Every structure is written in structure tokens, then in C-alpha cells.
């Protein structure tokens, strides 16, 4: 029967992908089997393995054991790889966030991190999230060690440094809650404009898509905000899609709503030239950051905890 990546590609997208939870892949064969099927998932993303705290917890000491789990799976299975992430305030070791920096020393720290980590995965990444979550929900620049040291100059600095290491990957800005087309989306558009005005390269904007059942914008509203970005000459993608029930267990009606919400998100990508693909932030409710992060919420994915396809899976397959 039809599978999601096959359907997505036939519908004109480049891929339908999923995040891979590094700790589960070797212990759970049912998980591994679905994840390794390139007809279902054409691209993988490491959920945590390429982050700064996973790759350079100690300054100058680089570790790829966790990130390589996903990269090696993708290679073995003939799947693509999305790479995530470089400059981010979170999962950032305290030697960076709490360091005392000048522009020169922090620039060198960023460049060293990129040349090692992006260099390690050179030639494997369809895209890299160069900057993650630099804007707050109310539409301000997020206060972090990078903003404190460089002001907004770190945007172009990061994209220029990334391009130097890997000229062939797509360089992305990635953030959540852009979907609501409010002050945050407007500020992210400004970030893209700042990078471009500085003559630095930016190829894409990732809409993380951490959404809520019943509060997910309509297909046409989603297409509208995606188009505000593609109008600036960047591609877009949903990079971390999950749609959570606010309370559990979810009723039958809530599961149908969740399916419609997923279909609207995927459908909006089909509606926008320059929307290249959709990635779910893990595919099974068995392994999801949602219940760990949003108290009482959960069941945000497309397979249940026993690896049965949910209504959400069927709704996506029908829209593709
Ligand atoms: C999350 C992971 O899923 C969790 O396992 C981890 O504990 C915290 O980070 N935005 C991002 C992702 O860009 O990297 C985050 O992933 C979810 C929010």
C-alpha cells in the first residue's frame, strides 16, 4: 500500500521525513523497521545528536557518536539527511553560553564549531539549520550570548561561516510558531532580510510546526505565511511537525480533528511553490518530546505507541 514519502514525492515534494531518536533505534526493532523504510520516510534528522552539547560539550573536543547514528542509518537505507543545528541558545554548553567573549573570540568559537561539525557531515546534509530560534514569540530578537556579543550581526556571520564550510548544503533559519503569521513571523522575515542585505547566503526557512490540535491554522492561512517567506527568495519546509492533544486520552472526535490539522499543514506545503518537504518530529507517540515538555499534552504524531497508523496518518496520505 502507499507510503508517505512515495506519495509526497509523487505530489511534487522533495521528501517526507522524520526525526530519529538516537536512544531508541538499536533497542526497538519495530521502530527501526519503520524508520528505515525509505518509501515511508525519505529523509532523517537527528533529534539531538548534532546539537552543540552533543558534539562539543568541552571546548575543542568533538564527538560524533550520537549524530552518526542518524547519518549512518540514512546512508545505509538510501535516505536523505537534514542536519540540525548550529547556532542556538538551547542545548548549548555553558562554556559557550556563560563564557566571556569578544566579537573576535566568539566568532572563532562559532567558526571552529562549524568547520568541525559541518565538516564531519560534509556532503551528507540536504540542509543545515544554521540558526535556530533567534526570535521570541512576541516578535523580539531572542536575548542570548550571540545577540549580546554581536547584536544582529551574528545572523550574517553565521550564514557566511556555514557557507565557507559547506557550500553545497541548503542553509536554513529554523523556528516555531511562525505558522500563526503574527509578530514572530514578521520578525523572522526581518532576519531573512538582514542576512540578504548583508550579502550573506540563506536558502531556506524551516517552520518547525509544533502545533496544537484544534488550534492549527487553516490550509490557506498556512499557505499565506509560507508565501510571505518564499516571496523573499528562500525555500520553506515544515521541519519538526507534531500536533499535540492538549489533554489525554484523545476522543475519537479529537483524533479526527488532529487528522484534519495534519492534512492542512501538509496540504499548505503542496499549495506553495518553494515548499520542499515535511518532516515529523519523530513519527510514533512512543518516542516524542511532547509529553516531556508540555505537561498533560501528547499523542502528537502519526503512529500510536504500538506502531499502528493513526487517523492522522490516513489523513496525510489522503491529502498527498
Ligand atoms: C527537542 C528534542 O526533541 C528533545 O529530545 C530534547 O530534549 C530537547 O529538544 N525545537 C528544536 C528541536 O529545534 O531541536 C527541539 O528538540 C524541539 C524544539
Structural domains present in the chain: 4-319 (3.20.20.80)
What is the Å distance from ligand 1's center to 199 Cα?
30
Per-position pLDDT tens, the chain of length 320:
799 999 999 999 999 999 999 999 999 999 999 999 999 999 999 999 999 999 999 999 999 999 999 999 999 999 999 999 999 999 999 999 999 999 999 999 999 999 999 999 999 999 999 999 999 999 999 999 999 999 999 999 999 999 999 999 999 999 999 999 999 999 999 999 999 999 999 999 999 999 999 999 999 999 999 999 999 999 999 999 999 999 999 999 999 999 999 999 999 999 999 999 999 999 999 999 999 999 999 999 999 999 999 999 999 999 99
85: CA distance to ligand 1 center in Å? 10
For ligand 1, atom 9: residue with the closest CA: 48
* Active site amino acids: 133, 240
Protein residue closest via CA to atom 1 of ligand 1: 289
How many CA atoms lie within 13 Å of 147's alpha carbon, on the beta-carbon side? 14
Ligand 1 site, residue 5, Cβ cutoff 6 A: no
CB contact at 8 A, 320 and 7: yes
Atom of ligand 1 nearest to the CA of 282: 3
Q: Provide the pLDDT for residue 1.
A: 75
- The pLDDT value recorded for residue 57 is 98
What is the pLDDT, as a whole number, of residue 28? 97
Q: Pick from 223, 260, 222: which is nearest to 243 by CA?
A: 260
pLDDT at 186: 98
95 close to ligand 1 (CB < 6 Angstrom) = no
Task: Return the residue matching grid coordinates 502519526.
Answer: 302
User: Angle at the Cα of 14 (from 71 to 240), degrees rounded to 5?
Assistant: 60
Does residue 289's CB lie within 6 angstroms of at least one atom of ligand 1? yes
Compute the chain's Rg from CA coordinates.
19
Question: pTM for this structure?
Answer: 0.98
- Measured CA to CA, the distance from residue 154 to residue 89 in angstroms comes to 13
Tell me whether 0.90 is exceeded by the ipTM: yes
Cα(289) to centroid of ligand 1, in Å? 7
Amino acid at each position: 500500500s502507499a507510503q508517505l514519502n512515495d506519495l509526497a514525492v509523487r505530489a511534487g515534494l522533495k521528501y517526507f521525513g522524520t526525526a530519529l531518536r538516537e536512544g531508541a533505534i538499536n533497542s526497538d526493532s519495530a521502530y527501526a523497521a519503520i524508520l528505515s523504510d525509505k518509501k515511508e520516510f525519505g529523509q532523517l534528522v537527528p533529534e539531538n545528536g548534532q546539537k552543540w552539547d552533543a558534539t562539543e560539550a568541552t571546548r575543542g573536543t568533538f564527538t560524533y557518536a550520537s549524530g552518526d547514528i542518524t547519518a549512518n542509518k540514512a546512508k545505509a537505507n538510501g535516505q536523505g539527511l537534514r542536519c540540525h543545528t548550529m547556532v542556538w541558545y538551547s542545548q548549548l554548553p555553558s562554556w559557550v553560553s556563560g563564557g566571556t567573549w569578544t566579537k573576535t573570540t566568539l566568532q572563532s568559537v562559532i567558526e571552529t564549531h562549524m568547520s568541525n561539525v559541518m565538516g564531519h557531515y560534509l556532503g551528507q546534509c540536504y540542509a543545515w539549520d544554521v540558526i535556530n530560534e533567534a526570535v521570541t514569540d512576541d516578535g523580539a530578537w531572542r536575548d542570548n550570548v550571540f545577540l549580546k556579543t554581536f547584536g544582529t550581526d551574528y545572523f550574517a556571520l553565521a550564514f557566511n561561516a556555514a557557507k565557507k564550510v559547506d557550500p553545497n548544503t541548503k542553509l536554513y533559519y529554523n523556528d516555531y510558531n511562525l505558522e500563526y503569521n503574527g509578530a514572530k513571523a514578521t520578525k523572522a522575515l526581518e532576519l531573512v532580510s538582514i542576512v540578504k542585505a548583508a550579502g550573506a547566503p540563506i536558502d531556506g526557512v524551516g517552520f518547525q510546526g509544533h502545533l496544537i490540535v484544534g488550534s492549527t491554522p487553516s490550509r490557506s492561512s498556512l499557505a499565506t505565511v509560507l508565501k510571505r517567506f518564499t516571496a523573499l527568495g528562500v525555500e520553506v519546509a515544515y521541519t519538526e511537525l507534531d500536533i499535540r492533544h492538549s489533554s489525554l486520552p484523545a476522543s475519537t472526535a479529537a483524533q479526527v480533528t488532529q487528522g484534519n490539522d495534519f492534512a492542512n499543514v501538509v496540504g499548505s506545503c503542496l499549495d506553495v511553490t518553494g515548499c520542499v518537504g515535511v518532516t515529523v518530529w519523530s513519527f510514533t507517540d512512543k518516542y516524542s518530546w511532547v509529553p516531556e515538555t508540555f505537561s498533560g499534552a501528547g499523542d502528537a504524531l502519526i503512529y500510536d505507541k504500538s506502531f499502528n497508523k493513526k487517523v492522522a496518518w490516513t489523513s496525510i496520505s489522503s491529502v498527498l
